[in-house]
Structure 1
Amino acid sequence: MTSFGEYGLVQLSKNFTVTQAVAFKDYFKQVCDRQSDLNQIVLDLGQTTFIDSSGIGALVGCLKIAQAHQIELVIWSLHPQVKMAFELTGLKDVFTIDMGTECLLAPETEVTEVSGTTHPSVRSPLKRLLDIVGSLVGLGITAVLFLPIAIAIQIDNPGPIFFGQIRCGWMGKRFKIWKFRSMVANAEALKHQVKNEAEGAFFKNKNDPRVTRVGKFLRRTSLDELPQFWNVLRGEMSLVGTRPPTPDEIERYEIPKWQRLDVKPGMTGEWQVNGRSSIRDFETVIQMDLRYQENWSLLHDIKLILKTIVVLFHKNAGAM
């Protein structure tokens, strides 16, 4: 970092992935702890053309560190490739960005996608086609089953038919996930009264008292997840991907765990077909998510979809 009295300037590397991100966050914290006279730190991303979810996680972590030290953090000279990632993930509304010093591409250069920040599965047109076709079929099934499910929910526990919750998708972008309501109407307000039986950054209770009688059936058969086909059609989720975390789970992530956000969250995935009902350890979820990213192919997605159908008819199948 170059210091100018109460101001500091840091130029980030060309590639800002998990290796650089972990080291940078540690360095940033040391700087903030050591230099108490700093009022503002400017991060120059003008030369940074490749950033992944771990890089995003490091920047979010640095913002929190700066705020704790009452230091203003400013993003300066965003490369267009990274700027697009900021816009798509909503980070442009989180950070203070000096838009007057944007890095300009040569006239003949055109940015059409965030190729420097996405996993191949996110860019695959065939995977997106599979998602669209699958979601349309799924929404057709949802429409057929909607009336009996809605009546059952209302009889058992009057209230909203659908349950919406904010989750984090690709690169940490927030969206509202939809399900058929399987808990009492004020379930979120009662969450603090329920013991978390999982280890790590996610919540799970096998016998959650908030789940209604109809809700238990919906979860056991995964019918509660049918409305998520709408999230898939909108492009917020995929048929196959990683488990979509909640914002409070993201708050507890160390930088390497942000790697699981390099792909879109899915209605099913490795965690679905490998005993999600019995998983209690977050590290196991991470390993499954990273394994999916490493092994991804369209054929692998199709295999997981077929395995999911088999799992749904297993007596131990159940919702997360």
Structure 2
Amino acid sequence: MVGPIPDADFRITFFNDTPVVQLPPRLTVLEAVAFKKSCQQFLQESADTQQLVFDLSQTTFIDSSGIGALVSNVKLAREKQVELVLRGVHPQVMAVLAMTGLDQVLTIEPPSQSTTTTPGKKSEIQLPTTHPSVRSWIKRGIDVVGSLVGLGITAILFIPIVIVIKLDDPGPIFFSQIRCGWMGRRFQVWKFRSMCVNAEALKDKIENQASGAFFKNENDPRVTRVGRILRKTSLDELPQFWNVLKGEMSLVGTRPPTPDEVERYEVPEWQRLDVKPGMTGEWQVNGRSQVRNFEDVIRLDLRYQENWSLIYDLKLIVKTILILFRKNSGAY
């Protein structure tokens, strides 16, 4: 899955009897693992601590793993009834916290003069480039063109799909679900409904045939008769072209996880969120529904990040189209 992560040194000092953790200039996977380990060890051993300060005055870059470490520390701090305070947060980091919603759950001290931007400069603050694909305007252009074509196809097939869904199982046409995208930012994904109306309520009663932080069941009884056809042909995913057009997803990327899946991630596994989720990707062309081990999902997602190029994206799109015409290639 994810290789061994070497330890980094995170010293905890005291200022006016308050423990302070100095974070490094970059909080990526190596530092994030050590950050989580050091903080959680301190919280476990210091029963009388009421407040813990994270000093980010030197930190100007944070990726998905850094967010994962923060989330893990927030959870334990709440269990221990310890207040976490962020100090010296630079605008670049604050933009990430705002995007992921962490600015609403963390106590953040007002920035000092040294970390504020000059008037008129706020619009120039950019989110971190966690992966080259995030800032590729050509990839974004392909996404826009592809999503417009996809939405055109969706419009043509919309009425027939609506009719068969309604005839098979009365209820909503669309199914929406919260997923986690780039850096863990939550968004609402859309699909044509392929399950019974109360599918989410019944999920806990269905056996999970996958191992790790995701859910699969080959003969899921919640899937309707028409739903199985929609899934086999991937027609249920056509509305996701709207998510691509909005920029929440890409045509090609990693599998978009649900929040409850992300809740179970270890810090290194957050690396898969360094790129935008995609309608297709390595998992789609390398086993799709046959991939039942979360370690394999991580391996495929990281392989995509390592091999990414515009040509690689186009190859995966072509492979996906070819796979859709193969027997027993669809999802279940």
RMSD: 1.6
Q: Which runs of no fewer than 5 residues in structure 2 stay unpaired?
A: 1-11
Report the equivalent of 2:51: 40
What's the counterpart of residue 60 of structure 2? 49
2:231 aligned with 1:200: no
Query: Of residues 171, 187, 210 in structure 2, which corresponds to 1:175?
Result: 187
Contiguous gaps of at least 5 residues in structure 1: none
Equivalent runs, 1:81-160 vs 2, <5 Å: 81-101=92-112, 103-105=115-117, 111-115=124-128, 117-160=129-172
Report the 3-state secondary structure (helix = DSSP H, G, I; strand = E; otherwise coil) of the residue aligned with 1:56.
Answer: helix
Output the CA distance in 2 between the equivalents of 1:262 and 1:113.
15
> In the alignment, which residue of structure 1 is the partner of 2:25?
14
- For 1:3 and 1:73, how far apart are their aligned partners in 2? 14
Deviations 1:202-254, CA, capped at 9 Å, x for gaps: 00001100000000000000000000000000100000000000000001101
Q: What is the TM-score with the length of structure 2 in the denominator? A: 0.92
Q: CA deviation at 1:94?
A: 2.8
Deviation at 1:90, TM superposition (A): 2.5
User: CA offset at residue 82 of structure 1?
Assistant: 1.2
TM-score relative to the length of structure 1: 0.96
SS of the aligned residue for 2:209 comes to coil
1:71 Cα offset (Å): 0.2
Q: CA shift at 1:105, angstroms?
A: 4.8
Contact 2:51 / 2:83 at 8 angstroms: preserved in 1? yes
CA deviation after TM superposition for structure 1 residue 93, in Å: 2.0
Aligned AA for 1:85? V
Aligned equivalents of 1:93, 1:272: Cα separation in 2? 35
Q: Deviations over 1:132-176 (max 9, x none)?
A: 000011001111111110111111000000000000000000001
Letter in 2 for 1:140: G
Once the two structures are TM-superposed, the CA of residue 124 in structure 1 deviates from its matched residue by: 0.5
| 1:208-287 alignment runs, 5 A limit | 208-287=220-299
Calculate percent identity across the aligned residue pairs: 65
Task: Give the paired residue count.
Answer: 319
Q: CA deviation at 1:100?
A: 4.3
Are positions 1:26 and 2:4 aligned together?
no
Aligned-partner Cα distance in 2 for 1:277–1:100 = 48
Counterpart residue identity of residue 233, structure 2: T
Quote how far apart the aligned CAs of 1:36 are: 1.3
Note the alpha carbon deviations across 1:266-319, whole angstroms, 9 max, x for none: 000000011112111110010000000011111110110010000110112223
Deviates more, 1:273-282 or 1:92-101: 92-101
- 1:43 is paired with a residue whose SS is strand
- In structure 2, the residue matched to 1:75 is 86
Query: How far apart are 1:91 and its partner, in Å?
Result: 2.2
Does structure 2 conserve the Cα–Cα contact (< 8 Å) formed by 1:49 and 1:82? yes
Checking the alignment, whether the CA contact within 8 Å between 1:42 and 1:74 is kept in structure 2 is yes
- Judging changes above 3 Å, is the alpha-carbon distance between structure 1 residues 4 and 49 closer, same or farther for their aligned structure 2 residues? closer
